[in-house]
Structure 1
Amino acid sequence: MEVKIGVLHAPREIVLESGQSADEVEQTVGEALSGKAPLLSLTDDKGRKILVPADRIAYVEIGEPAVRRVGFGAQ
């Protein structure tokens, strides 16, 4: 699942591939934005943890699951 996080006062967004489902990511983001958690904490598919202060989140875009295609006909 591709997740893009816009951070206030940062020129670039954070992009990661997460093994979590869209519902799990949405629930985690919701908890951070509602004040239940001071940090948005997500783990990418390589096991790295990404932490963003909840009060600095500008937006979160949750994409479709990534499908990796191999071969000459992959588009």
Structure 2
Amino acid sequence: MEVRIGIRDVGREVAFESAQTPAAVRQTVTEALSAESKVIELEDEKGQTIIVPTATLAYVEIGIQEKGRVGFGTH
């Protein structure tokens, strides 16, 4: 599942694949913001930890991983 994190005053977002469920990521973010924690810690699918200061957080987009498509699409 893909997670994208927007950071204030930064043009690029932090994007990574996570093995966690969307509900688990949502709970981690919500708890960190509710508890006024200084950071949000998430883990990517390789086991690396992503730490983002909550004061700089603009948004968190939690997506569902789409399976790759085969062939060509028409518009």
Per the TM superposition, whether the score is higher than 0.5 is: yes
Residues 33 and 55, structure 1, Cα contact 8 Å, conserved in 2 = no
Aligned residue number for residue 53 of structure 2: 53
1:12-42 CA distance string (max 9 Å, x none): 0000100000000000110122234321100
Residues 6 and 14, structure 1, Cα contact 8 Å, conserved in 2 = yes
Q: Which 5+ residue runs of structure 1 have no aligned equivalent?
A: none
CA distance in 1, matches of 2:63, 2:17: 10
Identity, % of aligned positions: 44
TM-score normalised by the chain length of structure 1: 0.83
1:27-62 CA distance string (max 9 Å, x none): 011012223432110010111110000111100000
Residues 5 and 15, structure 1, Cα contact 8 Å, conserved in 2 = yes
Moved over 3 A (4+): none
The answer as to 2:70 corresponding to 1:74 is: yes
Q: Which 5+ residue runs of structure 2 have no aligned equivalent?
A: none
Q: Give, in angstroms, the shift of residue 66 of structure 1.
A: 4.2
The answer as to 2:29 corresponding to 1:29 is: yes
Aligned residue number for residue 18 of structure 2: 18
SS class of match (1:15): strand
- Kindly tell me the number of residue pairs found equivalent between the two proteins: 71
CA RMSD across the alignment: 1.6
